[in-house]
Structure 1
Amino acid sequence: MTDWTGAGLTGALGDQEQLKAMGDQAQRLLADAKSGGWAVDEETGTHLRNAITQAEDRLSRISLNIERLRRKPKFGNDDYAQKAATHFQAAMDSDQQSLIPVYETVLSNLKTIREALDIAMSKYDASNEATTRYLGTFKED
């Protein structure tokens, strides 16, 4: 049986601490890329970007279902059905370990990593050009 609770998705992606660590690492990568402390060549960057795109694509396939989970399900009109529907809705989006916040955190982390990667690739290109210009000053005529 598939576990579609936040705990199930978090379990598939790591526990809450691992999810937070992923976010922290993504932020560090972004800061390093912005400061010029991390650069990556286009070939490597392209492979990494493809992996990120593949993960985002897989997650985007369930985005419609995530939007449905934000709404209270229509279990019926009696008191029990209404209580069950309210409970189900709360289980999907009640805390940081619920499915919807876990899903959103993973997407946000991937977006941050993509941004860091794009900056790191541009820094590598700029660094490469500067090095080429600098070394060109030593050429003998």
Structure 2
Amino acid sequence: MSESGEPVHSVASAITNAVGSPEHDGAKHMLGEAQAGRWAVDEETGTHLRSAISHAHGQLDALNARIELLRRAPKLGNDAYARQVAEHMRAAMDSDAQSLVPVFKALLEGLDNLQQALEVAMRNYDAADEAATQYLGRFKD
């Protein structure tokens, strides 16, 4: 608990709430909104957002090989205590939905969903713009 009495949220919790968790997935919600036609974005804004998402995805992809190493227990030795410590270290990285490895995977998936949502939203904007142009064109004559 923080000094104000509010629960303290972990970084993992904040990340999964933003882009991907079974309970709350903002990127999937945005994709659903775009697919339903309730979200649109113009080409210029969409281009900037697409670039930012691609940059973030590229940086995370570079870390992916290292993240995969965290799924394995480190080699600390063959005695029972070393194996127990190694398993504990592995479990700390990949034991539940709030562990680093699943959060990282959810972040990558969330970026993919966000990219798809953006593409749909850009098409929505273009379609709405075309419809408005056609409608207003009737008043031209």
Structure number with higher helix proportion? 1
Please give the alpha-carbon distance, in whole angstroms, between the structure 2 residues aligned to 1:79 and 1:101: 27
Structure 1 match to 2:77:
76
> What letter corresponds to residue 131 of structure 1 in structure 2?
A
Deviations along 1:70-89, one digit per CA (max 9) or x if unpaired, are 12221121222111111111
Residue 16 of structure 2, aligned match among 14, 19, 23: 19
Deviations along 1:40-83, one digit per CA (max 9) or x if unpaired, are 01110010111111111111111001111112221121222111
Please give the alpha-carbon distance, in whole angstroms, between the structure 1 residues aligned to 2:32 and 2:84: 46
Please give the alpha-carbon distance, in whole angstroms, between the structure 2 residues aligned to 1:104 and 1:22: 10
> Quick one: higher RCO (CA 8 Å, sep 6+), 1 or 2?
1
User: What TM-score results when the alignment is normalised by the length of structure 1?
Assistant: 0.82
Identical-residue share of aligned pairs (%): 50
Structure 2 match to 1:51:
52
Please give the alpha-carbon distance, in whole angstroms, between the structure 2 residues aligned to 1:88 and 1:56: 27
Please give the alpha-carbon distance, in whole angstroms, between the structure 2 residues aligned to 1:22 and 1:109: 5
Structure 2 match to 1:131:
132
Structure 2 match to 1:85:
86
Q: 1:63 to 1:18 in 2, by over 3 A?
A: closer
Deviation, structure 1 residue 104: 1.1
> What letter corresponds to residue 76 of structure 1 in structure 2?
G
Deviation, structure 1 residue 100: 0.2
> What letter corresponds to residue 16 of structure 1 in structure 2?
S
